[in-house]
Amino acid sequence: MKVLVAVKRVVDYNVKVRVKGDQSGVDLANVKMAMNPFCEIAVEEAVRLKEKGVAEEIVVVSMGPKAAQEQIRTAMALGADRGILVETDEELESLAVAKLLAKIVEEEQPGLVILGKQAIDSDNNQTGQMLGALTGMPQGTFASEVSMGEGKVEVTREIDGGLQTLSLNLPAIVTTDLRLNEPRYASLPNIMKAKRKPLETKTPADLGVDVAPRLKVLNVAPPAERQAGVMVSSVDELVEKLKNEAKVV
Amino acid sequence: MSILVIAEHDNSALKGATLNTVTAAAQIGGEIDVLVAGENCGAVAEEAAKIAGVNKVLVADDAAYGHQLAENLGQLVADLAAGYSHVLASATTTGKNFMPRVAALLDVAQISDIVAVESADTFQRPIYAGNAIATVRSGDATKVITVRATAFDAAATEGSASVESLDKVTDAGVSSFVKEELAKSDRPELTAAKVIVSGGRGMGNGENFALLEKLADKLGAAVGASRAAVDAGFVPNDMQVGQTGKIVAPELYIAVGISGAIQHLAGMKDSKYIVAINKDEEAPIFQVADYGLVADLFEAVPELEQKL
């Protein structure tokens, strides 16, 4: 079985982003970029499926600027076999990414597609589900456990009240939650080897997808600042403040 | 304009987040219909009919909708959407699961997790773990939106809408429900609680959460946790507050032994009052806390419980 994994280049999760002075967006100049943490978990799951002999080939795909090659190389250093970059300098919305992915799915015919549950920049949590709608595939979102069966996959999902297990016909889509696995680190020899793995570049036009945005971002503002708090020196003082100042207990 | 709100429920009772979503719909303006899709969900439909401001409740009662499988529910909602200018659901794990399918079937963008309605086509939503608020305008014919419940008040329950059954059933037949393990708790639901007591890695182990539970019982509070506490196996993951867990905004949030990483703050920094108890005075949580106490939690928490 072939597994397709989608990865996104985003701001490193430890960076505290700043809104630009003109409120046109977030300042990404000279900010450290990395693979979206949920995508790392997706790559790891695919590699584990390959190690178990379930997956034969792992194809990793990313949409974005030329620099997104770095994230594809990272995925290849972790164990992906080859990469596809759909190169564009446009800001891609989830719907556009899902449409591009749907075309790649049509070309590659994977048995399983693994994505992260959300990207930590846009916080949309949409792409995997949208790909499901466009391809007609079932989806196992927010997965904390994936177990492959004959023609089916069982996915345990993290839902609000606990856990839910679904059985999906293959081909299917899985989106990863934090607890699916612990991603490994790439070793130096594997990073060197990854440089020689094949990486194909396409454009949205090659795939016949219109990626024009549907939403217009009018403004990006910093969130309302919280008023500076006070430090209390004892539990008594804390109780007094909560009772008489905040009046919340 | 007409708005379809998808009710969130467990087939026997309506979930509170639906009421907040109806309030968001009312701010957009127009006639509001509510869809209740489930199995043996008649009681939920009756409850939904009592939400103030609702015009009509549509009921799709069939085994195919019993577990709100995204493939079936997404198609049902997309088929109904033709008659509406807006389709809204709460940004719970259920809403996040099926709504993007609806949007893609309609070939429109989805606006996730809105926190404010500016006009019928313009909305505010947090990005980058809540470190920026984007105002976006949609040019799509149908607006598909998920709503952050904590950003809107709950609608009153004093209405009397009519209830109408839908008989067309959509079953994609590509997925099926196997089992569910729901955490049992007598405490208030995390996302709806007025007071939350949360523990982090500083709790040391799962048994020590009993300290927080005692304090929570005294305050009628829910108990939450940081990712560190969940990953360490102290508590189950449905207690996680943060960017990838639950987003809460109680009157009072007491963070105990939580350092205050960006991803945790994303889930609780809209709380009215934040109290932090931590022995590290440099912990970032103190930058958002209204009241900070530098102390050993194993002494401070029992003392606090006693003195309240």
DSSP letters spanning A51-82: HTTS-SEEEEEEEESGGGHHHHHHHHHHT--E
Q: Which of A115-119, A223-227, B280-284 has the least mean pLDDT?
A: A223-227
Cβ within 8 Å, pair B288-A137: no
The whole-number pLDDT of residue B146 equals 98
User: Measured between beta carbons, which residues in chain B are less than 8 angstroms from residue A211?
Assistant: none
Q: How far is CA A108 from CA A68, A98, A103, A111, in A?
A: 20, 15, 9, 9
Q: Per this entry, what is the length of chain A?
A: 249
Q: Which of B109, B112, B128 lies at the smallest CB-CB distance from A214? A: B109
Tokens of B51: 């939400």
> Which residues pair with residue A175 across a beta bridge?
A115
| Distance separating alpha carbons of residues A31 and A26, to the nearest angstrom | 10
pLDDT digits (tens, 9 = 90+) for B136-182: 999 999 999 999 999 999 999 999 999 999 988 989 999 999 999 99
Interface predicted TM-score of the whole assembly (ipTM), two decimals: 0.95
Instruction: Work out the angle between the directed axes of helices A69-78 and A37-51 (0-180°, nearest 10).
Output: 30
User: Measured between beta carbons, which residues in chain B are less than 8 angstroms from residue A169?
Assistant: 174-175
For tokens 């040391």, the residue is B204
CB pairs under 8 A between A and B: 258
Mean per-residue pLDDT of chain B = 96
| Distance separating alpha carbons of residues B102 and B243, to the nearest angstrom | 24
Residue A131 phi, psi dihedral angles, 5° rounding = -60, -35
User: Measured between beta carbons, which residues in chain A are less than 8 angstroms from residue B136?
Assistant: 215-218
Tokens of A233: 């020196």
Strand, helix or coil for residue A190: helix
Percent of chain B with pLDDT over 70: 100
Chain A: closest CA distance from residue B19 (Å)? 17
Q: Which long-range contacts (CB under 8 A, 24 or more apart) does A88-91 make?
A: A88/A63, A88/A64, A88/A203, A88/A204, A88/A211, A89/A65, A90/A204, A90/A211, A90/A212, A90/A213, A91/A213
Tell me how many degrees the CA angle A146-B184-A165 measures, rounded to the nearest 5: 20
Percent of chain B with pLDDT over 90: 94
> Which residues pair with residue B60 across a beta bridge?
B37
Per-residue pLDDT band for B269 (boundaries 50, 70, 90) equals: very high
pTM for the structure as a whole: 0.95
Q: Is the pLDDT of residue A225 over 90?
A: no
| Distance separating alpha carbons of residues B91 and A123, to the nearest angstrom | 12
The whole-number pLDDT of residue B184 equals 82
pLDDT digits (tens, 9 = 90+) for B177-221: 999 999 888 889 898 899 999 999 999 999 999 999 999 999 999
Q: Which of A16, A169, A217 lies at the smallest CB-CB distance from B131? A: A16
The whole-number pLDDT of residue B21 equals 98
Q: How far is CA A96 from CA A49, A204, B207, in A?
A: 28, 9, 47
Cβ within 8 Å, pair B70-A235: no
Q: What is the mean predicted confidence (pLDDT) over A112-125?
A: 97
Q: Which of B71, B109, B132 lies at the smallest CB-CB distance from A220? A: B132
Chain A: closest CA distance from residue B156 (Å)? 23
Chain B: closest CA distance from residue A26 (Å)? 8
Residue A126, CB half-sphere, CA atoms under 13 Å: how many?
Answer: 29
Cβ within 8 Å, pair B291-A241: yes
Q: Which of B101, B252, B303 lies at the smallest CB-CB distance from A248? A: B252
The whole-number pLDDT of residue A58 equals 98
| Distance separating alpha carbons of residues A63 and A85, to the nearest angstrom | 6
Per-residue pLDDT band for B127 (boundaries 50, 70, 90) equals: very high
The whole-number pLDDT of residue B10 equals 94
The whole-number pLDDT of residue A226 equals 86
The whole-number pLDDT of residue A236 equals 96
User: Measured between beta carbons, which residues in chain B are less than 8 angstroms from residue A91?
Assistant: none
The whole-number pLDDT of residue A228 equals 81
User: Measured between beta carbons, which residues in chain B are less than 8 angstroms from residue A231?
Assistant: 286, 291-294
Amino acid at position B296, single letter: D
The whole-number pLDDT of residue B183 equals 84
Per-residue pLDDT band for B113 (boundaries 50, 70, 90) equals: very high
Per-residue pLDDT band for A171 (boundaries 50, 70, 90) equals: very high
Q: What is the mean predicted confidence (pLDDT) over A157-184?
A: 96
Chain B: closest CA distance from residue A7 (Å)? 17
pLDDT digits (tens, 9 = 90+) for A65-79: 999 999 999 999 999
How many CB atoms neighbour CB B197 within 10 A? Answer: 32
Tell me how many degrees the CA angle B182-B252-B152 measures, rounded to the nearest 5: 75
Give the chain A residue nearest B134 (alpha carbons).
Answer: A220
Per-residue pLDDT band for A52 (boundaries 50, 70, 90) equals: very high
The whole-number pLDDT of residue A232 equals 96
Q: What is the mean predicted confidence (pLDDT) over B280-293?
A: 96
Q: Is the pLDDT of residue A115 over 90?
A: yes
Per-residue pLDDT band for A215 (boundaries 50, 70, 90) equals: very high
| Distance separating alpha carbons of residues B292 and B277, to the nearest angstrom | 6
Over its C-alpha atoms, chain B yields an Rg (Å, rounded) of 21
pLDDT digits (tens, 9 = 90+) for B14-58: 999 999 999 999 999 999 999 999 999 999 999 999 999 999 999
